[in-house]
Chains A and B, each alone.
Chain A
Amino acid sequence: MNAIRKRDLIMLIVGLIIFGVLQAMMSAKMIGSFWQLNILLIGINIIMSVSLNLINGYTGQFSLGHAGFMAIGAYVGVVATTNFGMPLLVALILGAIGAGLLGFTIGLPTLRLRGDYLAIATLGLGEIIRIVIMNIDYVGGAAGFKGIPHLTTFPWVFFVMLFTLFFIKNFVNSTHGRACIAIRENEIAAESMGVNTTKYKIMAFTIGAAFAGVAGGLFAHSFYLISPNSFTFLSSFNYLIMVVLGGLGSITGSIAGAFVVTFISAALAAWPEFRMIIYALALILLMFYRPQGLFGYMEVTNLGPIKKFFDGLKDSR
């Protein structure tokens, strides 16, 4: 077994231990229902931020419409389970297909744009998705979709999250992922080296959108009611902030970002205005003193002592 695979295995074991501890604490009622919900949200937000990181961090395409894809996944999912009685797994897959297809369709024309224009176009697309959903009476319109079965449980979120992390990590380390990173570093240079930039940009965008759809499905089944107002561009900003806080181009960073942002939001939930002021100041100060985010391009497996540990594994092969 080579070192890379061994590394994956160790991370998997670490993940399972975390899962075991949290699950045990939940079964033993050591975590109240408020924090149980927030642990679910952290998992869902990790899926969102890691998938957004694939688009924004690894491929360098500035997307501000991620909540729109989440909305597609959420609505496709709840229609599948509530109106057609399908199991959650099918609902999640359908949500991923729906969001992925939409990502592909709208990525095709919009990814020709660059920088700020792409940012504002994706923001607009996300809003259009939300407004269209708001005008479909079949899914409850602006009032929202009611009577969703509560199917999202902690194991579901955790294992889907784990799958997402491994999928995106392996994608980033593959030929395709390296092509995406080349596009981020310099699109023109990448193109002249023979990278099909359109293909890889759309690939990253579609995969990111599909996982946002999965996250949307999990999110919707954690509540009794979802409404289009849960998916405004402000929530897209929120996911962007998680990614930037953790570091554009670091999966560990996205996990940390999703954790920190969700945790702080939950802890300060009683003082909403105050929370947002702190949030804003933290964001500005972060850009002043650590614009690359907490982790930059680093992964947890590259950090000092942990790297030594893994290098040791490599030597003893």
Chain B
Amino acid sequence: MDFLHQLVQQLINGVSLGSIYALIALGYTMIYGIIKLINFAHGDIYMVGAYLGFFAVSQLHLSIFPALLLSMAITACLGMLVERLAYKPLRHAPRISILITAIGVSFFLEYTTMYFVTPTPRTFPNVIENISFNVAGFIINGQQLLILSITMILMAILTYIVQKTKLGKAMRAASFDTETAQLMGIDSDRIISLTFCIGSALAAAAGVLVGVYYNTIDPLMGIMPGLKAFVAAVLGGIGILPGAVVGGIILGVIEALVSGFLSSTFRDAAAFAILILVLLIKPSGLFGKNTNEKV
């Protein structure tokens, strides 16, 4: 019984952590789906979002929701700016050039932030009351509820945009086949720009939520979650939005179980082990379709 109790408790923690991975993974998967780039800088966009949220709360004395929106708006612009300045000139360059540029952008964001805010971790102020609910013996705290509800709202909005609006249709078309979409009159540059905008806003939301959840942020906080979100995106099937969400949550749960029952030092190894297993067994991911390379 005790084991079962701990299992369910770890599942709750895992789903909270996993929904943060899911938010980051959505941006990854959208960007990969449309320009086939592992955007190594995505994790750092998330870090910048966390810092903007931190300053909005601590300097501008905003409450959590306006701070979240402000951070998402500014980070969305940053994401578009990065795309316009660093990736757009390389649209037709070899893949490795863009990948290296992404590594460069990642370093640039990390160390520019570090230059301005110093490397010391900051304590995120308490934005919601420390409440916790006791549901049949299991503890869910206020932060976890906040994370889950905001994640669900954002995902609902994203689903609406992608499935119901003309813009979303254009995004899906461009991700399916950019050239053909262009022939159909879709301005693919604009769509790519918007994809970065939406992806970065989601990452910023994840950043602020992580600040609220773990109470501490630092300029290099984005590296590991960024990589793990990529693992989540691959696990769900890259380019597929529901896949990213499911992948993120599975990853969060597995990590919580590994750190709860084995050792927290193996947490990061678990994520990469999953990645390698997925790549070896079903490289197209849980939701993906197999495609063959043509000569």
Contact B112 A277 (CB under 8 A): yes
Chain B's closest residue to A274 (CB) is: B115
The reply to whether A132 and B104 form a contact with Cβ atoms under 8 Å apart is: no
Asked if B108 contacts A273 (CB within 8 A), the reply is: no
Residues A248 and B96 in contact in the complex (CB < 8 Å), given A125-B272, A128-B269:
yes
The listed residue with most A CB atoms (<10 A of its CB), out of B108, B114, B230, B271, is: B108
Interface residue from B99, B108, B268 paired with A119 (Cβ < 8 Å): B99
Residues from chain B with Cβ under 8 Å of A124 in the complex:
231, 271-273, 275-276
Measured between C-beta atoms, what is the minimum distance from A171 to chain B in Å? 22
CA distance A274 to B107 in the complex (A): 11
B276 with A280: CB separation less than 8 A: no
Given contacts A116-B99, A273-B114, whether A287 and B104 have CB atoms under 8 Å apart is yes
Q: Looking at the complex, which one of A113, A123, A279, A288 makes contact with B107 (CB distance below 8 Å)?
A: A279
Q: Which residues of chain A are within 8 angstroms of B295 by Cβ–Cβ distance?
A: 188-189
- Map CB proximity to A onto B251-289 as digits: 1 under 8 Å, 0 otherwise: 000000000000101101101110110011001000000
* B96→A135 contact, CB < 8 A: no
| CA–CA, A234 and B93, complex, Å | 24
Q: Is the CB of A193 closer than 8 A to any CB of chain B? A: no
Q: How far is the CA of A237 from the CA of B266 in the complex (A)?
A: 22
B interface footprint on A205-238 (CB within 8 Å = 1, 0 otherwise):
0000000000000000000000000000110010
Interface residues of A in 280-308 (CB under 8 A from B): 280-281, 283-284, 287-288, 291
A117 at the interface (CB under 8 A from B): yes
A120 touches B275 (CB 8 A): yes
Q: How large is the interface on A (under 10, 10 to 19, 20 to 34, 35 or more residues)?
A: 35 or more
A126's closest neighbor in chain B, by CB?
B272
CA distance A114 to B291 in the complex (A): 13
Known contacts being A120-B234, A283-B100, A287-B101, is A135 close to B266, with CB within 8 Å? yes
> B244 within 8 Å of A by Cβ?
no
A314 vs B37: C-alpha distance when bound (angstroms)? 46
Most buried by B among A124, A128, A234, A241: A124
Q: Given the complex, which residues of A lie within 8 Å of B272, measured CB to CB?
A: 123-125, 127-128
Q: Give the complex CA separation of A119 and B102 in angstroms.
A: 14
Q: Does A151 contact B (CB under 8 A)?
A: no
Tell me the residues in window 27-59 of chain B with beta carbons closer than 8 Å to chain A beta carbons.
36, 38
Give which listed residue, B107, B114, B115, B276, contacts A110 with CB less than 8 A: B276
Chain A residues near B227 (CB-CB < 8 A): 120, 123, 233
Binary per-residue interface labels of chain A (113-146) against chain B in the complex, 1 for a CB within 8 Å, 0 otherwise: 1111101110111011001101100000010000
- Determine if A244 is an interface residue (Cβ-Cβ < 8 Å): yes
Q: A259 at interface (Cβ–Cβ under 8 A)?
A: no
Main secondary structure of the interface of B (DSSP, over half): helix
A276 beta carbon closer than 8 Å to chain B? yes
Contacts of A188 in B (CB 8 A): 293, 295
Residues 53-89 of A, flagged 1 when their CB comes within 8 A of B and 0 if not, give: 0000000001000000000000000000000000000
A contact patch SS:
helix
Q: Which residues of A contact B230 (CB under 8 A)?
A: 120
B7 contacts the other chain (CB 8 A): no
Are B107's CB and A120's CB within 8 A? no
- On whether the beta carbons of B38 and A280 are closer than 8 Å, the reply is no
Interface set, chain B 99-123, CB cutoff 8 A to A? 99-101, 103-108, 110-112, 114-115, 119
Asked if residues B38 and A131 are in contact (CB atoms below 8 Å), the reply is no
Q: Mark A158-192, 1 if CB is under 8 A from B, else 0.
A: 00000000000000000000000000000011000
Q: What residues on A are CB-neighbors of B96 within 8 Å? A: 62, 244, 248
- B85-102 interface code vs A (CB 8 A; 1 in, 0 out): 010011001111111110
For the complex, give the distance between the alpha carbons of A310 and B86 in Å.
41
For the complex, give the distance between the alpha carbons of A228 and B60 in Å: 41
- Say yes or no: is A194 at the interface (Cβ < 8 Å to chain B): no
Alpha-carbon gap, A283 to B275, bound state (A)? 28
Q: How near does chain A come to B61, taking the closest CB pair, in angstroms?
A: 29
Q: Which residues of B contact A32 (CB under 8 A)?
A: none
Of the listed residues B110, B111, B230, B273, the one surrounded by the most CB atoms of chain A closer than 10 A to its CB is B111
Most chain B CB within 10 A, of A121, A125, A244, is at A121
* Alpha-carbon separation in the docked complex, A125 to B223 (Å): 16
Give the Cβ gap from B279 to chain A, nearest Cβ, in Å: 5
Which residues of A line the B interface, CB within 8 A? 62, 109-110, 112-117, 119-121, 123-125, 127-128, 131-132, 134-135, 142, 188-189, 233-234, 237, 240-241, 244, 248, 273-274, 276-277, 279-281, 283-284, 287-288, 291
Given contacts A115-B95, A277-B112, 11 further A-B contacts (CB under 8 A): A117-B234, A121-B275, A124-B271, A127-B272, A248-B96, A276-B107, A276-B111, A281-B108, A283-B101, A283-B107, A291-B97
A–B Cβ pairs within 8 angstroms, 13 of them: A110-B276, A110-B279, A116-B36, A117-B279, A120-B234, A121-B279, A125-B272, A125-B276, A241-B100, A280-B106, A280-B107, A280-B111, A288-B90
Of all A-B residue pairs in the complex, the 5 with the closest CB atoms, nearest first, are A124-B272, A283-B104, A280-B108, A280-B107, A276-B111
